[in-house]
Structure 1
């Protein structure tokens, strides 16, 4: 049986699924599926490495921004083993994002190996 690697758009959506998953056990499962074992995540608010630390970092962000959801405002742009995409963080049903970011991900073996995150708009 042959499986195809996820597209950059698929991976970006699954990445945001991880950020939106509030059940800790399900989120940890998604982290394992989306991020490579030695993955690294860096943005202006933190730098972590490995699936456990990434899961903990995301859990902390969810506690800080409880009830908000991440979305893709446009399709990701990708070439080779790189993808870039903007994301919005908003209250459900509210089109105005309270935060806007831009992530560049390095892909290896169909999973995210590195995230380089940038914040374009942050609350107060």
Structure 2
């Protein structure tokens, strides 16, 4: 898909879920974060990351609170760096964890599985470059 080509409905639903997840990661308001996660994630979402595996929205919220929100540099944010590539029910996207000065702290690629209802029910985080 080129930048001027409109997204297919399925791709748009995937991008909406991914963007709500990223907005939740960037929210320092716990109530807003929980609301965004409830819009983006299935209740039993499975989260696979470099620090292990978690199940459920609470596990994802705990990860965001412990890792993303409390990162030592403070003021960092998660930024989607690519379009959401969604051939069917799976999607992938690039991201970077950005310092307040715009520098990259960490980058990677996530894969998500999206249900027919548009909820992410599995997230696989790949942090760092491929070698």
**Alignment TM class, shorter chain as reference:** 0.7 to 0.9
Distance in structure 2 (CA, Å) of the matches to 1:26 and 1:19: 10
Question: Which structure 1 residue ranges, 4+ long, deviate > 3 Å from structure 2?
Answer: none
- Structure (1/2) with the larger strand percentage: 1
2:85 is equivalent to residue 77 of structure 1: yes
Distance in structure 1 (CA, Å) of the matches to 2:112 and 2:125: 8
Distance in structure 1 (CA, Å) of the matches to 2:84 and 2:120: 14
Out of 4, 20, 36, the residue aligned to residue 14 of structure 1 is 20
How far off its partner does 1:38 sit?
A: 0.6
Distance in structure 2 (CA, Å) of the matches to 1:93 and 1:32: 31
- TM-score normalised to structure 1 length: 0.85
Number of aligned positions between the proteins: 117
Query: What's the secondary structure of 1:7's corresponding residue?
Result: helix
Distance in structure 2 (CA, Å) of the matches to 1:9 and 1:52: 22
> Structure 1 stretches of 5 or more lacking a match?
none
> Structure 2 stretches of 5 or more lacking a match?
1-8
How far off its partner does 1:42 sit?
A: 0.6
How far off its partner does 1:93 sit?
A: 4.7
Distance in structure 2 (CA, Å) of the matches to 1:30 and 1:8: 14
| Residue 112 of structure 1: aligned partner | 120
How far off its partner does 1:39 sit?
A: 0.5
CA RMSD of aligned residues (A): 1.7
| Residue 42 of structure 2: aligned partner | 36
- TM-score normalised to structure 2 length: 0.81
